[in-house]
């Protein structure tokens, strides 16, 4: 197993006359057969008190190819990440580079006969089991190959965050940063677990002066028998170093609302106008919302066929979007605005005016704006940036509803397989980075038919306000997704249109995207006020440690409960759900993370009861009662 300090591991694996922990095939030969003979140089740069960067350069004196691996060591967090780059420093094309694996190493030692388990999660496929936890038991010589579907990094079958456990002794977390088509192989050999991960497709030569990058890798080793503690260690690392910040703290996800007076399900924002949005802002500001939200349909051509025409509809916003954004600002709210800039539909402005910027598939009416084309990317950046400024946008919502892989594959030239994708993903990062540079404080919302493009790179630049397109507002699916994602990733949010406690609390996470129409005759104003007051009190707790208190299940006849705990705030909560067909009206839950000798103030919110209870008593278990199904119970605790 990797030992701390990880600086020792870096020194052992990145050194002259040695094979590094990455691999590739060059000119038909595996890198392990030649890279130790290449010229080697290394230098170290201190980022801050917590982080040091070690750059290792391997250079072929014959073909002038360099492979540069930039490692960042997180000293206090016991973690390491790296990203691999290739550059042709010669005057002719390189031989073919293929099978690029950003990591290729025995990652954890497991003695024969010891259990080795790969903990992971499904990706998003708009199903109730989106992000479902999975545990793969690895016997000797077992191999598992994992990759997303269609080019979006967390689409359908995989989620690029993994926890490899040697039962009872510890393990190691691994995360992949690549927002396209990656691949990973986990193999149990006679030494332990071997991992290979990198680009799914890459067989290419580099022209003189060309360079490319490969997926980013993050490793976080841990010790002990408490696997859930390791998940919380990983969550804390992401919150400290990866999740977008505002004023030095992880950005707070908003409580937002998206609706208009006459909206029907499926309309999206096709019926939104300046008038009805100003009306909505005026009505909803009494609830203390963070944002007004305009989703798909504000542009010429409407949703879904107007994508590629990023100008406000004259029939709805004759003065543009500025009046809405300014009104939200004046009401003390931000403004969430939806875009899907990568998809371009037939007949849209981009399709008519810049067909040379598009990647196309014959017989389809949707095309892909090639972010690997510098001219296209610069135009998009300038155009969207102008809208952000004019409309006072505070959260830029970036959606992506098609699978890009077939477009990338068709765009490749001979002996350049994978290059279209690489350039596209590099351009995608440049686009987001430039928007963030131009608009300090801007938050990017990462949506791709829900949560289908979540990886280490996207979470470093964005948050996921709408983590799944599964049956909008269905509560059991929402509970399951909070459970599955809670093991890996803060922060995320989802939506609701309900004000009853069971459905509303099922949707509560770090933020909340509401579809509440206050003009409906059955609108329950008092209920919404009560739910929002309760949520505002506890939402900071979702950024804390996460503890599952019941088994994971998508079934209708059980309970689900989980706990969020923050030592820094001296507070935490337990949220329990009795589902529709669950027969038992009570359940004993055993909280985690509490001190036996600490006296806790425990508030049973639904009963209106407050008690002082010793930690030792709580740790023996709490009997939670929910009389009616479906139902919910919220318990908040604090200490001095």
CATH of the domain at 39: 2.70.98.60
Q: Of 246, 277, 305, at which residue does a domain stop?
A: 246
Collapsed DSSP state (helix, strand, coil) of residue 634: strand
Same domain, 242 and 254: no
Contact 302, 310 (CB under 8 A): no
Q: Per residue in 206-258, pLDDT tens?
A: 999 999 999 999 999 999 999 999 999 999 999 999 999 999 999 999 999 99
Same domain, 430 and 371: yes
Collapsed DSSP state (helix, strand, coil) of residue 168: coil
CB burial string 299-315: b at 16+ within 10 A, e below: bbbbbeebbbbbbbbee
Contact 518, 497 (CB under 8 A): no
Contact 391, 324 (CB under 8 A): yes
CA distances to 85, 275, 296, 315, 319 from 324, in Å? 44, 9, 15, 15, 10
Same domain, 175 and 280: no
Same domain, 534 and 557: no
CATH of the domain at 614: 2.60.40.1180
> Would the CA dihedral through 305, 343, 456, 137 be positive or negative?
positive
> How many C-beta atoms surround the C-beta of residue 586 within 10 A?
13
634 Cβ neighbours under 8 A, 6+ residues apart: 501, 505, 534, 538, 573, 574, 575, 576, 605, 606
Same domain, 92 and 55: yes
Q: Which two tokens stand for residue 620?
A: 């023996």
The full DSSP string for 14-56 is SSTTS--S-EEEETTEEGGGTGGGSEEEEEEEE-SSSEEEEEE
Same domain, 528 and 571: no
The full DSSP string for 218-284 is EEEEEESS-HHHHHHHHHHHHHHHTS-EETTEEPPPPEEE---TT--TT-TTTT--HHHHHHHHHHH
Q: Is 54 inside a domain boundary?
A: yes
Same domain, 207 and 324: no
Q: What are phi and psi of 532, to 5 degrees?
A: -70, -40
Domain with 201 in it: 6-246
Same domain, 287 and 307: yes
Number of domains observed in the structure of the chain? 3
Same domain, 535 and 583: no
* Cα–Cα distance measured from residue 597 to residue 619, given in angstroms and rounded to the nearest whole number: 11
41 Cβ neighbours under 8 A, 6+ residues apart: 56, 57, 59
* Positions of the chain with pLDDT lower than 70, given as ranges: 1-5
Task: Calculate the dihedral angle through the C-alpha atoms of 309, 311, 317, 319, rounding to the nearest 10 degrees.
Answer: -160
Collapsed DSSP state (helix, strand, coil) of residue 605: coil
CATH of the domain at 527: 3.20.20.70
Same domain, 365 and 494: yes
pLDDT value for 5: 57
> Would the CA dihedral through 402, 405, 406, 409 be positive or negative?
positive
Q: Per residue in 534-583, pLDDT tens?
A: 999 999 999 999 999 999 999 999 999 999 999 999 999 999 999 999 99
CA distances to 283, 316, 381 from 323, in Å? 16, 12, 22
* Cα–Cα distance measured from residue 467 to residue 451, given in angstroms and rounded to the nearest whole number: 4
Q: Is 565 inside a domain boundary?
A: yes
pLDDT value for 3: 40
pLDDT value for 474: 97
Task: Calculate the dihedral angle through the C-alpha atoms of 291, 293, 299, 303, rounding to the nearest 10 degrees.
Answer: 170
Q: Of 496, 518, 540, at which residue does a domain stop?
A: 540
Q: Is 241 inside a domain boundary?
A: yes
Q: Is 1 inside a domain boundary?
A: no
The residues pairing with 514 across neighbouring beta strands, listed in sequence order, are 257, 496
Q: Which two tokens stand for residue 135?
A: 């545990």
Same domain, 73 and 148: yes
Collapsed DSSP state (helix, strand, coil) of residue 150: coil
| Beta strands 334-339 and 395-398, pairing class | parallel
Q: Of 246, 280, 301, at which residue does a domain stop?
A: 246
* Cα–Cα distance measured from residue 531 to residue 452, given in angstroms and rounded to the nearest whole number: 29
Contact 493, 509 (CB under 8 A): yes
Same domain, 150 and 80: yes
């Amino acid at each position: 197993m990797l030992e701390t300090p990880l600086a020792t591991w870096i020194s052992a694996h990145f050194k002259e006359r040695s094979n590094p922990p990455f691999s590739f095939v060059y000119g038909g030969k595996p890198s392990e057969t030649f890279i130790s003979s290449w010229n080697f140089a290394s230098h170290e740069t201190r980022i801050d008190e917590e982080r040091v960067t070690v750059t290792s350069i391997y250079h072929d004196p014959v073909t002038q190819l360099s492979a540069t691996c930039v490692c960042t060591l997180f000293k206090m967090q016991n973690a390491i990440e790296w990203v691999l780059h290739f550059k042709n420093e010669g005057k002719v094309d390189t031989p073919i580079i293929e099978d690029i694996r950003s990591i290729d190493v025995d990652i954890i030692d497991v003695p024969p006969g010891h259990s080795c388990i790969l903990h992971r999660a499904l990706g998003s496929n708009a199903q109730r089991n989106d992000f479902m936890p999975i545990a793969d038991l690895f016997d000797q010589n077992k191999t598992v190959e994992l990759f997303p579907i269609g080019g979006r990094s967390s689409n359908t079958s995989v989620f690029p965050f993994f926890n490899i456990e040697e039962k009872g002794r510890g393990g190691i977390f691994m995360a992949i940063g690549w927002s396209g088509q990656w691949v990973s192989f986990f193999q149990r050999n006679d030494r332990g677990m071997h991992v290979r991960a990198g680009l799914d497709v890459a067989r290419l030569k580099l022209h003189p002066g060309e360079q490319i990058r490969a997926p980013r890798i993050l490793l976080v080793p841990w010790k002990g028998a408490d696997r859930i503690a390791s998940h919380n260690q990983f969550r804390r690392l992401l919150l400290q170093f990866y999740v977008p910040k505002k004023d030095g703290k992880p950005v707070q996800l908003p409580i937002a609302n998206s609706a208009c007076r006459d909206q029907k399900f499926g309309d999206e924002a096709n019926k939104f106008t300046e008038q009805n949005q100003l009306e909505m802002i005026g009505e909803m500001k009494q609830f203390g919302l963070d944002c007004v939200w305009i989703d798909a349909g504000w542009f010429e051509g409407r949703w879904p066929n107007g994508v590629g025409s990023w100008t406000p509809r004259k029939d709805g916003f004759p003065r543009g979007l500025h009046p809405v954004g300014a009104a939200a600002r004046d009401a003390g709210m931000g403004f969430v605005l939806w875009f899907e800039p990568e998809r371009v539909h037939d007949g849209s402005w981009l399709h008519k005016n810049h067909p040379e910027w598009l990647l196309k598939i014959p017989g389809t009416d949707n095309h892909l704006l090639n972010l690997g084309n510098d001219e296209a990317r610069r135009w998009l950046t300038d155009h969207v940036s102008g809208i952000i400024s004019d409309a006072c946008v505070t959260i830029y919502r970036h959606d992506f509803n098609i699978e890009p892989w077939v477009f990338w594959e068709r765009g490749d030239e001979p002996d350049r397989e994978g290059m279209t994708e690489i350039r596209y993903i590099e351009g995608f990062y440049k686009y987001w980075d430039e928007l963030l540079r131009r608009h300090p404080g801007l938050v990017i919302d990462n949506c791709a038919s829900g949560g289908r493009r979540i990886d280490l790179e996207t979470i470093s630049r964005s948050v996921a306000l709408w983590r799944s397109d599964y049956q909008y507002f269905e509560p059991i699916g929402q509970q399951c997704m909070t459970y599955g994602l809670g093991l890996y990733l803060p922060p995320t949010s989802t939506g609701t249109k309900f004000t009853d406690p069971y459905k509303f609390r099922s949707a509560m996470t770090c933020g909340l995207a509401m579809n509440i129409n206050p003009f409906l005759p059955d609108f329950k104003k008092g209920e919404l006020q009560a739910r929002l007051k309760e949520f505002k009190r506890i939402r900071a707790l979702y950024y804390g440690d996460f503890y599952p208190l019941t088994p994971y299940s998508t079934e209708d006849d059980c309970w689900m409960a989980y706990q969020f705990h923050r030592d820094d705030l001296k507070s935490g909560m337990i949220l329990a759900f009795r589902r529709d067909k669950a027969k038992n009206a009570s359940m004993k839950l055993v909280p985690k993370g509490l001190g036996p000798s600490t006296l806790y103030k425990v508030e049973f919110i639904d009963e209106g009861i407050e008690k002082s209870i010793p930690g030792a008593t709580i740790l023996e278990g709490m009997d939670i009662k929910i009389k009616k199904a479906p139902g919910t119970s919220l318990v908040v605790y604090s200490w001095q």
